[in-house]
A and B are shown apart, each in its own frame.
Chain A
Amino acid sequence: MSHVVKITIDGVECMATSGQYIIDVAKENGIYIPTLCNYPGVKPKGSCRICTVKVNGRMMTACTTPVSENMEIDNTSGDIVELRKAIIELLFIEGNHFCPACEKSGNCELQALAYRYSMMVPRFPYTFPQRQVDAQNPKLVKDQNRCILCKRCIRAIHDADGRAIFAYHKRGNKVEICLDPKIGKNLSDELAQKAMDVCPVGALLVKEKGFDQPIGERKYDKEPIGSDIEKL
């Protein structure tokens, strides 16, 4: 049923298969669209909104929108860049992000994006919320201060019976991530590591593993986020 379609991203012609998401087509064509909630192999959710592009003039999230013939996609115009920068700033002021003291520094996608979008200081006032650190789980520490509520852990981590180990709790600006105390108790080392790996920030950490990789040798220490895609 799928067929080849032609689209343009910032004027560059790209070939794609119908049904593919914009974000993946861009990646295949060496074009970087920033993401935070999207994760390879996990059903997209479009919750962070940072991959917003203009599709024929309309704002759409690149991670959830399938391509169709003759789509014209704008990924770099001024207002799109400004929007992304604003979203990064909003995520910074929503929580308590102290990069120098964070185990994930250098491997953190939010931090890396802040560098890429040259954030100096957020335009929005900090909210300094009171948030909990939950270390009850035998394998994982959950630091709500750093969570950006991207739902990657909710969507990616399930037990052998397919039950959700992570879930949202409450709604609106009171939303938090919860780790199921019962199922979570029997979390395998592999799943715990996967949870830490899918977390774009330092909100989920495997106990005693925070500094396994030394600072200076981490993913974004030498090259900005997205440069691997742009090098293709």
Chain B
Amino acid sequence: MKNYTQKIVEKYHHDKTRLMDILIAVQSEYGYISSESIALIAHELKMSDVDVEQTVSFYHFFSAQPTGKFSIFLNNSAVANMMGREEVATALEQETGIKFGQVTPDGLIGLFETSCIGMNDQEPAAIINNRIFTKLTSFRVKEIIRDIKDGKKIEELYSASFGDGANRDVSVQSVVSNNIRKIGPILDPNYKIGEAIRKITKMTPLEVIDEVKNSSVRGRGGAGFPTGLKWEFCRNAKGERKYIFCNADEGEPGTFKDRVILTELPRLLFEGMVIAGYAVGATEGILYIRYEYKYLETYLEKILEAARKKNYLGKDIMGKKGFDFDIRIQFGAGAYVCGEESALIESAEGKRGEPRDRPPFPVEKGYLEMPTIVNNVETLCSVVKVILNGAEWYRSFGTAESTGTKLLSISGDCRNPGVYEVAWGFSVNDILAMVGKSANVQAVQVGGPSGSLIGPDEFSRNLGYEDLATGGSLIIFGEHRNLLKDVVLNFMDFFIEESCGSCSTCRILPSVLRTKLLKIMNARGVQQDIEDMVNWSGFLKASRCGLGQTAANPIITSIKNFRHLYEARVQSRKEYDTGFDLTKAVIEACEVTGRVPNI
């Protein structure tokens, strides 16, 4: 253990900003990060043990205890539940003889839950030793566990053929499907690779920024900040080095379009990073990807290597003197909050993924204190097409406020879940018609848990920054779904699990609200409980980052749009109820003493 860990620390030159890479390597090698490993790493990096441990304990996929030779992480997103996760979970527990959170006594199998893994269009899904298993059933579970017990290797556990497109690539070989349902200008595979880079070598960086500004393309991660402006700020910021980050930490439950781009169009993405580097004067790009997409690592490294050979990356790119740029891949380790740009930078520096205070903004002081751009995967891809076809062409798609197209990740109760590229400005009704809604739609979650839950009276609203803004996730709920239990409660659990814990508001309030929600769901609520939830949610607005500020959105938007669901459950004749169930509380004591509850 000592030798390997030491070798890894040396590989990263005893650089504590590379702690994430060191920990990922140790975790992969041993299946956990022991206290001996932590002490060794701390010693080598001249840190204290608790300092290393605070990073280890922050990330979901790092573990201080062994997680089994086969670590099974079953997704627990709302859509996974809708698609039969419960049955799969029960089968897993039955077949392995352990509960979630445990490892079999022989150390062979570990069972764990995990937040949305970006496979909402093929749930129930799980990650086993960094490989994805989709569309699980209790039958498949039996097969998989039997094969594991028979001593088969991880690559022998697949029974179905590999998915479509690059999922079949020899360096991917995964059963994941792309489910690309509608192709637009960004997903269009017919473009000349490298052409955009060639084009910018004939432009000045300012001309590139102007073109991007003229296209009015805005950040596709959800916040919608004008991309050209961000680049300009970074270009003008003072710093001896500058960095381009691509944010591929797609963690919003229900979103999976970046996974499809990473699979099918990684060259387009890398080209976008090169363009950004040229525009702002950066020589290093970092692709920060969520750990859930680790199965794409070899494939992406292979494509980067090929790009270096073609001189799309490296020194004097395409013969242009002084145009140097290269890209490295940085994996996360399971933390939704790292999708927030400053938390992502903290994480890339080897620390806990806690958002930073702003100002200063990353464009002034980001990675390693240097001016840094953080752009979403789709944003960078859009930029390549802007450079290739011009800003005017790009503006011909979408609306005046929201130019271009948007990739939507659509899942839930519909016939054709998957990725759709549409121009901005279509209504929710249009989208529902496009995806083949099944039965009557009760509600649509727009923009994931941090977005809003809307009902049919708002389906005529249009997608766009000026009306219904979205990072691209749409989850459809049929009329048979229990919105409070299946959706709101699941989303609140998600926010509670994923809070970094730094701000008092976001650390404490969501669980307080969850308790209220449960009280109402258990028919113990009163009218005042609904008002309390609305009023108390407002305090979250004082949180530092978007996660905290939106952590009550599932409750706020469902009360706003589905108030009747709450009111039907509160006690109309009571003004006050503690929510405390005395009978239930004493049931165990009564059993032991052989008494009947005296109520």
Chain A residues in contact with chain B, CB under 8 A? 44-50, 52, 59, 61, 64-66, 83, 86-87, 90-91, 93-94, 123-125, 127, 148-149, 151, 159, 161, 163-175, 178-183
Contact = CB atoms under 8 A, between A and B. Distances in A.
A41 to B, nearest CB: 18
Given A159-B48, A163-B47, A178-B53, A171 B359 contact: no
Interface of B: 46-51, 53-54, 57-58, 335, 352, 357, 359, 496-505, 507-512, 515, 532, 536, 539, 541-544
A50 B539 CA distance: 11
Contact of B512 (A47, A93, A172): A93
A174 B58 CA distance: 10
Contacts, number: 128
Contacts of A127: 511-512
A167 B48 contact: yes
Nearest to B511: A173
B504 A171 contact: no
A172 B500 contact: yes
A86 B536 contact: yes
A95 B509 CA distance: 13
**Smallest CB-CB A-B distances: 3 pairs:** A175-B501, A64-B357, A167-B50
A86 B572 CA distance: 28
B50 A178 contact: yes
B54 A169 contact: yes
A191 B244 CA distance: 41
A171 B509 contact: no
B357 A172 contact: no
Contacts of A168: 54, 57-58, 352, 501
A47 B50 contact: no
A125 B511 CA distance: 11
A125 B512 contact: yes
Given A59-B542, A83-B539, A87-B505, A165 B48 contact: yes
B510 to A, nearest CB: 8
B36 to A, nearest CB: 13
Given A87-B539, A173-B507, A175-B507, 19 more contacts: A46-B357, A49-B505, A49-B542, A65-B357, A90-B504, A94-B507, A123-B532, A124-B512, A151-B502, A163-B46, A164-B51, A168-B57, A169-B53, A171-B57, A171-B352, A173-B499, A174-B501, A178-B54, A180-B51
A65 to B, nearest CB: 7
A124 B536 contact: yes
B238 to A, nearest CB: 12
B355 to A, nearest CB: 10
A182 B506 CA distance: 32
Main secondary structure of the interface of B (DSSP, over half): helix
A167 B502 CA distance: 12
Contacts of A169: 50, 53-54, 57
Nearest to A61: B357
A52 B512 contact: no
Contact of A167 (B53, B359, B539): B53
A15 B532 CA distance: 41
Query: Considering residues B500, B512, B541, which has the most beta carbons from chain A within 10 angstroms of its beta carbon?
Result: B512
A49 B539 CA distance: 10
A70 B505 CA distance: 29
Contacts of A87: 504-505, 539, 542
B268 to A, nearest CB: 34
A167 B51 contact: yes
Nearest to B543: A49
A84 to B, nearest CB: 9
7 contacts: A59-B542, A93-B508, A94-B507, A163-B51, A167-B51, A168-B501, A172-B496
Contacts of B335: 171
A208 to B, nearest CB: 25
B37 to A, nearest CB: 15
Contacts of A83: 539, 542
A180 B50 contact: yes
Given A90-B508, A172-B507, A47 B502 contact: yes
Nearest to B541: A59
Contact of B544 (A46, A148, A163, A178): A46
A12 B508 CA distance: 34
A148 B507 CA distance: 11
Given A59-B541, A86-B539, A48 B501 contact: no
A57 to B, nearest CB: 12
A167 B50 CA distance: 6
A172 B542 contact: no
A115 B53 CA distance: 37
Contacts of A183: 48
Contacts of B352: 168, 171
A170 B48 contact: no
A109 to B, nearest CB: 14
A191 B505 CA distance: 30
Contact of A179 (B50, B510, B512): B50
A164 B49 CA distance: 9
A19 B532 CA distance: 39
Query: Considering residues B50, B512, B532, which has the most beta carbons from chain A within 10 angstroms of its beta carbon?
Result: B50
B450 to A, nearest CB: 16
B502 A170 contact: no
Contacts of A170: 57-58, 501
A93 B359 CA distance: 31
A52 B542 CA distance: 7
